[in-house]
Structure 1
Amino acid sequence: MDITICWAAIIAFGVCMYIVLDGFDLGIGILFPLFPRDNDRNRMMSSVAPVWDGNETWMVLGGASLYAVFPMVYSVVLSALYIPLLFMVIGLIFRGVAFEIRGKARRSRQLWDLAFMGGSGCATFFQGVVLGSWLSGIPVANGQFAGHAFDWFTPFSLFTGLALLVTYALLGCCWLIAKTDGDLQRKLYRVVLPLTALQVLTIIVVTLWTPLLAPMFATRWFDSSVLRWLIPVPVLVAVCTWGMHKAVHARHGITPFLLALGFVLLGYIGLLATIWPYAILPGITIWQAAAPHSSQAFTLVGAVIIVPIILAYTTLGYRVVFRGKTDHAELHYH
């Protein structure tokens, strides 16, 4: 058993869980400008009140794992992407504070609405920028970042930031369809198909743009061992698009959210197939960036204990959440 591959799989799983779980509650903040009524916003925030802070556990797990197991990745990425990561954290702080205070505020509620919208949008956009910058490549010399502070500011990284805004907004919209009813749900059904169209458009643009970033991507995509994994992806994206159209017109509740997750997972699988086995693009593998074997083995014991615990309480929390629709009261379930 290759312990480095085990750790890469754990981190990849944690990142996927964060994108899926924190994505839809960030998406709710992105959707706020489309729903100006105070009662609608109360219900939107109420739908994620029991789970939003627990969702960020997966981000903490990923960051701690990188620090312990892939210290070169941690130091290089932090140095290269310090500015977008800082803005991402600021956005998460504003979003978290607004979430806690908005329900108790009266005269200043509109201000906290703006903080919630701005924090959600800022955190999402800069997460996408970090992804695009990492895909574009980070110059490394002697195990350290060898570029400039604004190397991340490229057209591709800015586009991936916008693309992630669309992805999280779609996740948030579909989550709310599953958790609401009445007039708010009808409004959400009108929003979901335009968001789906934007989602497919961003997938197409990123798919066409990525091979132009580096020759290694084009070479990887047309390698027979990888191509067989990638060929079904566009077909499944088309299936998800068709399924979303049918589910919305049939007014299904949970199906749109499952299909939105399908878009996310297909994109994530395509990403992993494209970059494997590199930890820092364009040429540092996970084995070159890994900590000593003894460190990996020691921390793996903790991961084997902690990850099942996180999965257990996350599963329990969502079982409780999915028992009912969000009602009209503020931050309350029935």
Structure 2
Amino acid sequence: MISAPLAEGVIDVHAHWLPTELFHLPPGAPYGGMHDRDGELHLGDIPLSIPTRAMSDVPAILQDMRATGVGVRALSAPPFAFPVGGVPGADRYVTAFNDALSAVVSDSGGRLVGLGLAGLDDADEARAQMERLARTDGIAGIAIPPLLAGGSLDRGMLRHILTEAADLDLAVLVHPMQLPRPEWSEHYLSNLVGNPVESATAVAALILGGVKEQLPRLRICFVHGGGCAPWLLGRWTHGWRTRADVRRHSSRPPAEVFGELFFDSVTHDPGPLGLLAAQASKGGVVCGSDYPFDMAQPDPVRFATDHGPDAGTLTANARAFLGL
């Protein structure tokens, strides 16, 4: 719920924040905790190539916004903080993060909004957490992973989360988790290849699983330009037309449903952003930065407006995604 007016300017829907007291991450986090090492942030033994303060320090976030022309920034937890471990104690972590996020955005003078966490183990507890978020001023929605327990957005707990989000009028940001696979163990491929594949899998599951058709009020955004999805949309459409098993759960062509989704502008190259803008609806592309990670778009507003929609359209699209 966002009752106070937001600041003027382009809204960045994709940025991360985590207070230092929650760097330990939820129980069962796949990479271990985050920690500072000589001013640099590490995830377990993996250097994240960013200053530690960039993740946790609100003045640093606001300074970056001023430097890059961002008017409003939507903060969500880094994907390592998603409670995917299935270990007792995650609900306490979720509550602590949501409370801390609420305090930060409420004290920002309309410069920051929040996308909270929900538990991913117990359906009733997740509903209760999301109800609290829906009543919390400054919180516009939640952030979730694209994959969970061998499934995606068309079944299981993630499907339940989407149903509750649509019912509670909460926006949903889908962020990949950079899950490890042996073939991606070198060259940072778990990010460079894994993240786009995770996102595309979730978009396909949402569309071909008929989820968006069943939840027309769902406002959902996929980061990193939807990953591989824009390149695969034609292939999905061909498969939908030619195979009964592909269209078993959906009654509308994939390209038609694709036009009802939101995607951020973090594509790192003008060509992919142009393709995304051509396939999404005019209202479907929003500005993103991926602050403060090393794979962030360093000048997000300029990149988005130079190669995609104008500033006014980006702002209107983000407001629509956030439910303003």
Decide: shared fold, TM above 0.5. Answer: no
Greater relative contact order structure (CA < 8 Å, 6+ sep): 1
Point out the structure with the larger strand share. 2
Q: Tell me the TM-score normalized by structure 1.
A: 0.28
Give 1 or 2 for the bigger CA radius of gyration.
Answer: 1
